[in-house]
Amino acid sequence: MTDQLYYLKEEVYFEPLIHNWYAWPYMLPPIQSALIFSKRITGLMKSFVKNAQLHVTANKSKQLTGGSFVNCTVDQVEDVKRLLDTLETEYQHYHQIKDAFTRLNDFLEQNADGYALEKEYHHIDEILSGYIELVYNENHNGFARLIEGLLYLSPLYRKEAQSISFGLLSKVGERPFVLSTPRLPDENHLQLQVAFDNPQLNDILQLRQQPKSKADIQAMFAQFPSTGGLDLAELLTTQAPCTQHQPVTQGSRIRFIGHAGLCIESDGLSILVDPVIPSRTTAQAEDFLSFADLPEKIDYICVTHTHMDHVCLETLLQLRHKVDTILVPRNNSGTITDPSLKLMLSNIGFNVREMDDMEQINLPQGIIRAIPFLGEHADLNIRSKTAWWFEFNGKKIFAAADSSNLDAQMYRNIHRSVGDVDFLFIGMECVGAPMSWLYGAFFTKPIPRKMDQSRRFNGSGFETAKTLVDIFNPQQVYVYALALEPYFNYFMGLNYAEDSEQIIESDKLLAYCSERQIPCDRLSGSRIWQY
């Protein structure tokens, strides 16, 4: 008699954690992580400890979803205090990095006057010494360039702060917003102390589609210290996933897989773009695609930019065992707001290739090309952003993500090289968050409110998206990346009304396309195009 085989239930959700906080990309690089914890996260937790009831009350309001309110209960105040104490004592170097980085920037602002910097290295505090190059930009403004690759090999990169958590949708209902709430061990979760690059993590996460005996699974989990009251047995089922991937046997297929995610398959080639894959209950099987619907092997994952709804570590780690290569845009090498995606992802176990603007990969099945990406980054000098262009089986696909058409001439220049497009996918989050919402921890001086409100993460509005349609003459147009799927609220924190600017502007684009008899839609959930 053979042992019964078990899968992870489809409703199991997985969260990568750093210091019990949901891990998003900027929390991986050592300096950026230190600034986020010392300047943002400790402040959130101190506010909660000081006035927990205010946070509890605020979290009852849907209008405040995505705000700076810790979604814990009053009973968890002591747990938050303990987490704060750990950060303040065992990771006090985070505050040392913050102070050292501030002092260095202040020194450069006051003293880097265009003359040689070679005698100024003694102004770098010991904790940052050896990881900084002092340089000027072309306007002779001094700044500190981070030597990123060396930082990942330094004592400042603390993999022991990494862990993972498992929960069940049926037990928690709605997951708390990831940017404001720590994931504390409780009766509804099982947490393992394991670094993200540990190859044994692949074995655990493959259980979604590759069953094992209960004894083997128990041995997998037993390798790592665990906390939380959720029994491992509750995560397991003998039932295979309720749907399976259906391979493409002829032609090519594009599938919208939610938010900004696409799955493109052609002649044995499988590509994902910006995948964010949700867990699902059995009742949701027909509503959207999940992990079992994806190909057994993924040749490329193409990511557009570093924002967490496009580089979703939660999803990427669950796909790592089946991914060949991740394609990422090249970064600015050492600037605080533009850390290297290649280094981030390669240090957690991925094979990564950087792509320059207009660089092309020629494959037997067709072409992958990186397209310049303007906008949505608050006018900061962030290079690690790209749109993607695909040509397979006689069709051209332009996945523009959150690109904003700030300079139509650039797109006319691109059009001269690539021609018209068959499928245009464009994000229209035309009123994004202010600059400080994501990058505030990286500035060493306060940002004037008026400046902060002016420089936002704006994607395309009607006029800019319309111009893209006029330039590229698409055969079909689809608005995506608007976080319309309610099951993504835990990391998007957005709730649109009918009069929200994003809905009004995208309605205008859909009307414009319809008048010109161009098939169009605003996407949510899943969609399939076969050709």
pLDDT tens per residue across span 332-367: 889 999 999 999 999 999 999 999 999 999 999 999
DSSP state of 25: G
Cβ atoms of 257 and 526 within 8 Å: the answer is: yes
pLDDT, tens digit, 9 for 90 and up, residues 29-83: 999 999 999 999 999 999 999 999 999 999 888 777 778 899 999 999 999 999 9
Q: For residue 6, which of 212, 205, 204 has the smallest C-alpha distance?
A: 212
Q: For residue 403, which of 430, 438, 427, 378 has the smallest C-alpha distance?
A: 427
Measured CA to CA, the distance from residue 330 to residue 345 in angstroms comes to 13
pLDDT at 285: 65
Query: Mean pLDDT across the chain, nearest whole number?
Result: 94
Average pLDDT estimate for 159-185: 94
pLDDT at 168: 96
Cα atoms in the 13 Å half-sphere on the side-chain side of 214? 11
pLDDT at 249: 87
Average pLDDT estimate for 504-514: 97
Q: Is a pLDDT exceeding 50 seen at residue 438?
A: yes
Q: Is a pLDDT exceeding 60 seen at residue 1?
A: no
Q: Is a pLDDT exceeding 60 seen at residue 8?
A: yes
Residues of the chain with pLDDT > 90, as a percent, come to 88
Among left, alpha and beta (phi > 0; psi -120 to 50; other), residue 118 is alpha
Q: For residue 291, which of 266, 318, 253, 273 has the smallest C-alpha distance?
A: 318
Residues of the chain with pLDDT > 70, as a percent, come to 99
pLDDT range class, residue 13, cuts 50, 70, 90:
very high
pLDDT range class, residue 306, cuts 50, 70, 90:
very high
Measured CA to CA, the distance from residue 317 to residue 372 in angstroms comes to 27
What does residue 194 show for φ and ψ, rounded to 5 degrees? Answer: -150, 135
Q: How far is CA 69 from CA 112, 312, 335, in A?
A: 40, 22, 30
pLDDT at 68: 87
Cβ atoms of 292 and 10 within 8 Å: the answer is: yes
> 285 or 414, which is more confident?
414
pLDDT, tens digit, 9 for 90 and up, residues 284-296: 766 778 999 999 9
Average pLDDT estimate for 194-222: 96
Average pLDDT estimate for 424-433: 93
Any idea how long the chain is? 531
Average pLDDT estimate for 253-263: 96
SS3 31: helix
DSSP state of 498: T
Q: Is a pLDDT exceeding 80 seen at residue 2?
A: no
pLDDT at 498: 85
Kind plus residue range of the DSSP H or E element containing 101: helix 93-111
DSSP state of 252: E
Q: Is a pLDDT exceeding 90 seen at residue 317?
A: yes
Residues 6+ apart with CB under 8 A from 5: 211, 212, 213, 238
pLDDT range class, residue 508, cuts 50, 70, 90:
very high
**For residue 522, what are its two tokens?**
């605003």
Average pLDDT estimate for 462-483: 96
Average pLDDT estimate for 307-317: 96
pLDDT, tens digit, 9 for 90 and up, residues 114-148: 999 999 999 999 999 999 999 999 999 999 999 99
Q: What is the pTM of this model?
A: 0.95
